[in-house]
Amino acid sequence: MNSPVEIPFKSFIQIERASHIPIYIQIANHLTQAIQSGTLLPGTKLPGARTLSELLDVHRNTITSVYEELYAQGWIDVKPNRGAVVMPRLPKIKGRTTESRGYPATTGFSFTTTPLLDNPFDHAPCDYVFNDGVPDIRLTQIDDLSRLYSANMKRKSNQKKMSYYNQEGSRYFKEQLSQYLRLSRGFKISINNLLITRSIEMSLFIISEIILQQGDYVVVGAPSYFAANMIFQKSSNRVLTVPTDEEGLNTDALEELCSKHIIRLVYVTPQHHYPTTVSLSARRRMALLQLSKKFGFVIVEDDHDYDFHYDKQPLLPLATVDTEGMVIYVSSFGKSLAPGFRTGFVVAPENLMVEMRKYLGIIDRQGDVMIEQALGEMIEEGAIQRHMKRSLKIYKERRDYMSALLEEHLSEWIQFQQPTGGLAFWLSFKKPVNLMRLKKLCEKNNLFIPRTLLYQNKEVTALRVGFGHLDQEEMDKTIGILKQAISEL
């Protein structure tokens, strides 16, 4: 085997003396990697402790510790009066050299890839940003959140809950949330009808895994929520669209589609259709439930913006009047809070809940019981209700101000309906423009518009523009930039 003096130990043993990792461990790790990569072959004799210590400029006892560590791990054998050798019984690694060492650039195996789940989000270093309608983090009740979360962390009765897995989540939070939903949305449910998830998207993913198989037909509105489209396309590979108008999803077109295909699932956002913000009319709500009963398709009701209403009391969710067990309701709680305190949830009959908990137990076994406990206390104390009341007043003022700005500065190019709820406007262009060019022009002037907000085809040229995260000064600035960019097209 190679003589120790012929092996360039210093080329692959790099000691970081400022590191918190002991030097003997660093050296042992480098030698282990050299053995695994084939640089040091089985049976190779290693230098004596004195020789290697002088070569690496470390104490002899350090090398002694290195060899003891490698011997204990089974990488080397140490014989009295013969020194240390790489364990002869190790398999030889072929095709690896010192020059080829390092983490591989690609896998050595094949796997299935899918462009359907490519990240649709882009970023730019701009001071101003449009989004699709998210709350303003500056309005968050930080004092209430920090007080309740800190109290729950310190409470001895909760410490046991942090030491074991609990895929069922906090029973206390479920009790408070079910009561909250009974009072605010008309649900007559128990905690057995609730599943707590991390987000609406996680809820949709679990539903798709259970309900859909490859080849099943799924119907969404045109246009629809891009993340939901991605999930359904991945699960079924057959996503059909029906048009939407000022009354929401066109149920007549849906019925015609049902006469041609066996529809497994229909996805709707009835309170404020994403992205156009229109509400599904009472007539079409009744028609949708009747069609579900007639053709046997599942309705997934995404109620992402229920808490944000300004002008009138919203219609109750479809799920509250579903007597056939055909509606799965997904929504979120705490959307007006800091992102880490928001949570998704699903409401459905108990037999589906049993299956959904199995899937949740695989992808989110631990959950976040402390957050749920704090959210439950916010409901019980009335803090969340008080916060929403104050926030809604501010968001309504912002909606009205944004509406006035759009009318004053952009009415020459766009048309819109002031939304009755939610945190976004749907801006439809009177004449087609190049939205990607518009996006670039805005970016040059310090306003970033994500491509997920751009909707353009032969029939539609539109933007979904959130207003909730902008104060009046920021609205003045962003609408000014948008106006300048449109005028340059």
Kindly report, residue by residue over 275-303, the tens digit of the pLDDT: 999 999 999 999 999 999 999 999 999 99
What is the pLDDT, as a whole number, of residue 139?
85
Please tell me the distance from the alpha carbon of residue 271 to that of residue 422, in angstroms, as a whole number: 9
Q: Which residue has the higher pLDDT, 165 or 338?
A: 338
pLDDT at residue 116 above 90? no
Residue 76 CB neighbours (<10 A)? 25
Q: Residue 166 has what pLDDT?
A: 54
How far are the Cα atoms of 73, 124, 276, 289, 383 from residue 283, in angstroms, in the given order? 73, 43, 19, 10, 36
Say which residue, 154 or 205, is predicted with more confidence: 205
* Whether residue 4 has pLDDT greater than 80: no
Q: What is the pLDDT of residue 90?
A: 81
- Give the burial class of 31: count Cβ atoms within 10 A of its Cβ; 0-12 exposed, 13-18 middle, 19 or more buried: buried
In this predicted structure, what is the pLDDT of residue 195? 94
Q: What is the pLDDT of residues 6-26, one digit of tens each?
A: 778 888 888 999 888 999 999
Pairing of strands 83-86, 76-79: antiparallel
pLDDT at 299: 98
User: Tell me, what's the pLDDT at 420?
Assistant: 92
Of the candidates 50, 7, 48, which has an alpha carbon nearest to the alpha carbon of residue 30? 7
Task: Report the pLDDT value the prediction gives residue 3, as an integer from 0 to 100.
Answer: 54
Give the pairing of strands 298-302 and 327-333.
parallel
Distance CA 46, CA 43 (A): 9
Q: What is the pLDDT of residue 10?
A: 83
In this prediction, residue 102 carries a pLDDT of 65
d(CA 468, CA 36): 55
* Confidence band for 118, pLDDT divided at 50, 70 and 90: confident
What residues are paired with 344 via a beta bridge? 197, 332
Give the pLDDT confidence of 156-182 residue by residue, as tens digits.
665 555 444 455 677 888 999 999 999
Mean pLDDT for the stretch of residues 73-80: 88
pLDDT grade for 264, boundaries at 50, 70 and 90: very high
Joined tokens for residue 157 = 């009765």
Mean pLDDT of the chain: 88
CA triple 198-204-210, angle to 5 deg:
115
Give residue-wise pLDDT tens across range 223-246: 999 999 999 999 998 999 999 999
In the chain, the percentage of residues whose pLDDT exceeds 90 is 61
Q: How confident is the model at residue 367 (pLDDT cuts 50, 70, 90)?
A: low
Residue 419 has pLDDT above 80, yes or no: yes
The answer to whether 329 touches 301, Cβ cutoff 8 Å, is yes
Q: What is the pLDDT of residue 255?
A: 97
- What would the pLDDT profile of 369-417 be if each residue is shown by its tens digit? 777 888 888 888 888 888 888 899 999 999 999 999 999 999 999 999 9
**Dist CA 51 CA 209 (whole Å):** 61
Instruction: Output the pLDDT for position 193.
Output: 96
Query: In this model, does residue 440 exceed pLDDT 90?
Result: yes
Q: What percent of the chain has pLDDT over 70?
A: 90
